Structure 1
Amino acid sequence: MTITPPALSVFETLESEVRSYCRSWPAVFDRAQGSYLYDEDGHTYLDFFAGAGALNYGHNNPVLKRALIDYIERDGITHGLDMGTTAKRAFLETFQNVLLRPRDLPYKVMFPGPTGTNAVESALKLARKVKGRESIVSFTNAFHGMSLGSLAVTGNAFKRAGAGIPLVHGTPMPFDNYFDGTVQDFLWFERLLEDQGSGLNTPAAVIVETIQGEGGINVARPEWLRALADLCKRRDMLLIVDDIQMGCGRTGPFFSFEEAGITPDIVTLSKSIGGYGMPMSLCLFKPELDIWEPGEHNGTFRGNNPAFVTAAAALDAYWSDGQMEKQTLARGEQVEQALTAILDEHGGEAIVSVRGRGLVWGMEFADKSRAGAVSKRAFELGLLVETSGPESEVVKLLPPLTVSPDELDEGLRILARAVRETA
């Protein structure tokens, strides 16, 4: 008897081997709403991944969907490069009135291209142009994107190796608590800047994530960020905050650096700035840094007008009254309590720590391979969570900001079961 093996899917026969998330979650998803995804076989999955932070307002948010449908149905502009459009004007006015003015932030707004790495590349290019220097300082375990400039300030060895050429003009420094509190903050950095024999070229800028998402949910203390901002000011370096994953309310406030009380020179945004999961990114910078020549940095898809529409709708709906920040912080306390209970159940020998802020949390396992096993078991039980950290040793939680307390409880119970069943 001849047994015919099942046919390989088009994903396996046609799509590149570079695909990744579909290997961890072997399902074919068909539709989504709110905090849930549904595959073509009718299975339901609670989504604590949220498009890697691109879906802070959930899947197919009805408020944003209505605005988008209305815009498309009236034949609103879809592709506009950097031309003036009614959609772009409405977004800029909303961004200024809802976010910048209430926070006394002076930024100019640049549309560098559709993705986060486009925003980072433009920030690095601008910093070098303003200061006339090449060197950029980044931090251990940082992640800033997959194009060459962004990779040069990214820490992960696997991702850096994919460049295939030397990654230059970037220098890593220790992130907050890299030495477990045994070394004074910025001791090494300050010494290199002072020493004419250190070999460190005077940097144009420092780029930092307030919470390192891909690096393992490493949370910088507000006092560390304030000290970094002070160091940059004293040493004539620009401070770039990469808020691509941690901005748009992920940590509570709209900008993740607000808690530290600092005003970076340059800020990058992407992922959830478009509101609906559509490609969009921003590079924000102080007005005195706006020395670009017209067209000196451009891109065909920097004017995604449908994303302007949903972005403005998201700001109007969720950021006009301060309630989203309060809700996110309350939901974060709910997550912290549940993760602490899991930690207490399994003890410090199995789980190194739980850490996070707002609605970004990580659980680090002593056995580094266990995080992947927990993520796999959680998927089998109907929950999407990914791993992060240099050795994928951290289970990472990024639920939508619109998640309900009951949905959070459901997902956290599944996670607790997955940890228990992989012990």
Structure 2
Amino acid sequence: MTNFDTNIFDNLESEVRSYSRGWPAVFESASGSWIRDENGRDYLDFFAGAGSLNYGHNNPVLKSALVDYIVSDGITHGLDMSTVAKRDLLQTFQDKILKPRGLDYKVQFPGPTGTNTVEAALKLARKVTGRSSIINFTNAFHGMTLGALSVTGNSMKRAGAGIPLVHATPMPFDNYFDGVTEDFHWFRRVLDDSGSGLNRPAAVIVETVQGEGGVNVARAEWLRALADLCAEREILLIVDDVQMGCGRTGPFFSFEVAGITPDIVCLSKSISGYGLPMALTLFKRELDVWGPGEHNGTFRGNNPAFVTSKVALDHYWSDDTLHKSTLTKGDKIHQAFTDLANQFEGSVSTRGRGLVQGLVFDEPENAGKVCKLAFDEGLLAETSGPSDEVVKLLPALTITDEELDHGLAILADATGKVCS
């Protein structure tokens, strides 16, 4: 390999890149929960494309269907035209996901990323209600385009907009005050107080587990109270399930544990099954007030992603095997992290649900140190939270117990070196 090939990233690629700085390797291939660099070194992946690879890298079942589709000259780009691949996906989504859960949602294909589905949800809520204000929550992350960024909490990301981000009002997320006060009551109070200055909102947008915000888990009772309040005040409830949906927390939708039915649901990341760009915006049938072409996008018809999504739903969501397995594996991580929290009491704590788990460090810089040591030992993990104080795990849902044990041992050793 020449120096030019080695340095091309520094010489030509923008300084905006981030993950490559923490993982200084040039990756070449991947399979399951493993990714290999160009020198032949294997890394166990506890990141899974930021939750885009719930079924692992190059899942053989999905890969076979994708290869067959491409070889048969199946339509790749279809705008929003009707295609066989789209019809098959819609029918499967209805049969495997919506009907068993009693959900009567219409399905919109926005642009292919998470921020696209959030933008569609916000626009639809404003169109339906005729109101402009949106309620979001502290430490939320919803995307990097202007509408999605306006309901995102991270100050660094918000500053990148370069303009004021308006028409959004943050409220405290569940347990924001560490149990000192019932933070949900503040939202109710300002909604009902004519002197609060709060504009009547079109919608509330919420993550049931804030991944980028630091693995902050909303209690089921808090989510139910939020849903009840929105219904009472005729405010639409949007659940952003971009990272936590598609089985990440156990059930297909992360809000199922609370027994609520959001008005609008945002899906992306692992909905394609294979890491291909794809997003869905789901909404109650009566909210479908769009005019033709009122919200569109050139790549909303990613047919190869429709193919892999359909196969993933058939293969993994025809029964509750994956659901149960995810909860069991999540318990394994939680126990390992609880052991570390007990070992380093006062320095480390843990929180999470299903296969999104966080190891929280009282000294924020220690999370980054642990991730660096883990990388040196062949494990990919990332940090999250407002101060990057959390080691956040997002392994593939298909990871084996042996692979989990291997990665957790690396993290335990790294934590010991940093905290001892």
TM-score normalized by structure 2? 0.98
**Cα distance in 2 between the residues matched to 1:422 and 1:191:** 44
**Cα distance in 1 between the residues matched to 2:181 and 2:126:** 30
Residue 184 of structure 1 deviates from its aligned partner by: 2.0
Letter in 2 for 1:27: A
**Cα distance in 1 between the residues matched to 2:291 and 2:313:** 30
**Cα distance in 2 between the residues matched to 1:137 and 1:102:** 30
Secondary structure at the aligned position of 1:70 is classed as helix
Q: Which residue of 2 aligns with 1:41?
A: 39
Query: Contact conserved, 2:244 with 2:253, CA < 8 A, in 1?
Result: yes
Identify the match of residue 78 of structure 2 among 77, 80, 83: 80
Residue 235 of structure 1 deviates from its aligned partner by: 0.9
Identify the match of residue 319 of structure 1 among 317, 320, 323: 317
Q: Do the aligned partners of residues 344 and 66 (structure 1) sit closer, same or farther apart at CA in structure 2, a change above 3 Å counting?
A: same
Residue 129 of structure 1 deviates from its aligned partner by: 0.3
Residue 6 of structure 1 deviates from its aligned partner by: 6.2
Query: Contact conserved, 2:176 with 2:183, CA < 8 A, in 1?
Result: no
Tell me if 1:360 matches 2:356.
yes
Q: Which residue of 1 aligns with 2:196?
A: 198
The alignment's C-alpha RMSD in Å is 1.0
**Cα distance in 1 between the residues matched to 2:184 and 2:77:** 45
| Identity across the alignment (%) | 69
Matches within 5 A, 1:133-282: 133-282=131-280
Residue 9 of structure 1 deviates from its aligned partner by: 0.8
Secondary structure at the aligned position of 1:251 is classed as coil
**Cα distance in 2 between the residues matched to 1:327 and 1:186:** 33
Secondary structure at the aligned position of 1:355 is classed as strand
Q: Which residue of 2 aligns with 1:418?
A: 414
Q: Which residue of 2 aligns with 1:117?
A: 115
**Cα distance in 1 between the residues matched to 2:330 and 2:364:** 25
**Cα distance in 1 between the residues matched to 2:98 and 2:112:** 21
Letter in 2 for 1:149: G
**Cα distance in 2 between the residues matched to 1:38 and 1:339:** 27
Q: Do the aligned partners of residues 419 and 107 (structure 1) sit closer, same or farther apart at CA in structure 2, a change above 3 Å counting?
A: same
Residue 186 of structure 1 deviates from its aligned partner by: 2.0
**Cα distance in 2 between the residues matched to 1:333 and 1:215:** 21
Residues 216-236 of structure 1: CA deviation (Å, up to 9, x unaligned): 000000000000000000111
- Flag structure 1 segments of 5+ consecutive residues without an equivalent: none
**Cα distance in 1 between the residues matched to 2:30 and 2:191:** 51
Query: Contact conserved, 1:185 with 1:224, CA < 8 A, in 2?
Result: no
Query: Contact conserved, 2:203 with 2:236, CA < 8 A, in 1?
Result: yes
Q: Which residue of 2 aligns with 1:67?
A: 65
Tell me if 1:376 matches 2:380.
no
TM-score normalized by structure 1? 0.98
**Cα distance in 1 between the residues matched to 2:180 and 2:340:** 28
Secondary structure at the aligned position of 1:84 is classed as coil
Query: Contact conserved, 1:88 with 1:305, CA < 8 A, in 2?
Result: yes
- Flag structure 2 segments of 5+ consecutive residues without an equivalent: none
Residue 187 of structure 1 deviates from its aligned partner by: 1.6
**Cα distance in 2 between the residues matched to 1:186 and 1:420:** 37
Letter in 1 for 2:71: E
Residues 111-156 of structure 1: CA deviation (Å, up to 9, x unaligned): 0111000000000000000000000000000000000000100000
**Cα distance in 2 between the residues matched to 1:308 and 1:187:** 42
Letter in 2 for 1:393: E
**Cα distance in 1 between the residues matched to 2:33 and 2:385:** 24
**Cα distance in 2 between the residues matched to 1:173 and 1:103:** 30
Secondary structure at the aligned position of 1:241 is classed as strand
Greater shift, 82-91 or 5-14, is seen at 5-14
Q: Which residue of 2 aligns with 1:53?
A: 51
Q: Count the aligned residue pairs.
A: 417
Runs (4+) of structure 1 moved beyond 3 Å? 5-8
Secondary structure at the aligned position of 1:37 is classed as strand
Residues 264-303 of structure 1: CA deviation (Å, up to 9, x unaligned): 0000000000000000000000000000001100000000
